[in-house]
């Protein structure tokens, strides 16, 4: 037997050792008993903090009253940037009246030819101005990753203070992780070439957030 065989044999023996359910319960009890580390002090309202941090990361932010006003806000942003009036959206936003604002939307995953993607978010982190998006049949990740322009609708009620709060909310509402979690902190960027920041290198070059104050 060589060293490789010896290692694999020990790994195989370890995988089947003991009670899996008991070991899992012990691990979950250990994690549940851990206390959080130092947390930042939020000296301002979460919406104010979130907006300031998001804008510092090159996102643009608009504030409207609620869901009903969101399509018109999207149309204004697209018109101001001469970005057309066509977009792909996630299915969870399909109930909004997009046509009344002159928008043509398709509810499907995004493709290479799509210039604008509109999504919601699971929650948003005020500490860093970050969106937390969960992948799923109703919320394909491509809508926020492939188009050059990503527009996200952010209900104020889904703002949390810290990343730890975001994961606590995920555990409370879903119990387990989805296939993918995406964190979005402004447009895609890179500094690989001569340490010069370039936006849109690996994803959207524009991120526009519409904060729904009453939602």
Do 25 and 71 fall into the same domain? no
Question: Tell me, what's the pLDDT at 113?
Answer: 94
Do 20 and 51 fall into the same domain? no
Question: Tell me, what's the pLDDT at 34?
Answer: 75
Which of 64, 55, 89 is closest to 187 using CA atoms?
A: 55
Question: Tell me, what's the pLDDT at 199?
Answer: 67
Do 150 and 54 fall into the same domain? yes
Do 99 and 9 fall into the same domain? no
Tokens matching residue 20: 């899996």
Question: Tell me, what's the pLDDT at 87?
Answer: 98
Do 8 and 83 fall into the same domain? no
Give mean pLDDT in consecutive 10-residue pieces for the chain, a chain of 215 residues: 82 69 81 79 87 95 97 97 97 96 96 96 97 95 96 97 94 89 88 69 88 93
105 neighbors 89 (Cβ within 8 angstroms): yes
Do 123 and 148 fall into the same domain? yes
CATH (domain of 84): 3.40.50.10420
Do 23 and 105 fall into the same domain? no
The pair phi, psi for residue 139, each rounded to 5°, is: -135, 65
Dist. CA 30–CA 24, nearest whole Å: 10
Question: Tell me, what's the pLDDT at 16?
Answer: 61
Question: Tell me, what's the pLDDT at 39?
Answer: 80
Do 20 and 74 fall into the same domain? no
Do 139 and 189 fall into the same domain? yes
Dist. CA 92–CA 162, nearest whole Å: 25
Do 106 and 154 fall into the same domain? yes
214 neighbors 66 (Cβ within 8 angstroms): yes
Number of domains into which the chain is organized = 2
Q: Is residue 39 part of a domain?
A: no
- Quote the pTM value: 0.83
Question: Tell me, what's the pLDDT at 203?
Answer: 76
Q: Is residue 36 part of a domain?
A: no
Do 7 and 93 fall into the same domain? no
Domain that holds residue 197: 44-212
């Amino acid at each position: 037997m060589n060293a490789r065989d010896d290692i694999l044999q020990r790994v195989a023996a370890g995988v089947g050792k003991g009670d899996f359910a008991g070991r899992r319960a012990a691990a979950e009890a250990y994690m549940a008993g851990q206390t959080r580390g130092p947390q930042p002090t939020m000296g301002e309202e979460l919406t104010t903090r979130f907006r300031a941090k998001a804008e510092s990361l090159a996102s643009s932010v608009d504030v409207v009253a609620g869901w009903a006003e969101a399509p018109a806000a999207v149309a204004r942003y697209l018109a101001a940037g001469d970005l057309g009036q066509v977009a792909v959206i996630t299915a969870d936003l399909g109930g909004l009246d997009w046509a009344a604002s002159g928008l043509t939307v398709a509810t499907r995953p995004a493709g290479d030819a799509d210039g604008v993607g509109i999504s919601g978010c699971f929650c948003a982190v005020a500490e860093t101005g970050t969106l937390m998006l969960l992948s799923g049949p109703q919320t394909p990740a491509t809508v926020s990753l492939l188009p050059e322009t990503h527009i996200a609708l952010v209900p104020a009620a889904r703002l949390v203070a810290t990343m730890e709060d975001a994961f606590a909310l995920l555990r409370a509402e879903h119990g387990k992780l989805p296939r993918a979690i995406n964190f979005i902190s402004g447009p895609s960027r890179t500094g690989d070439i001569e340490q010069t920041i370039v936006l849109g290198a690996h994803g959207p070059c524009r991120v526009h957030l519409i904060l729904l104050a009453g939602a």
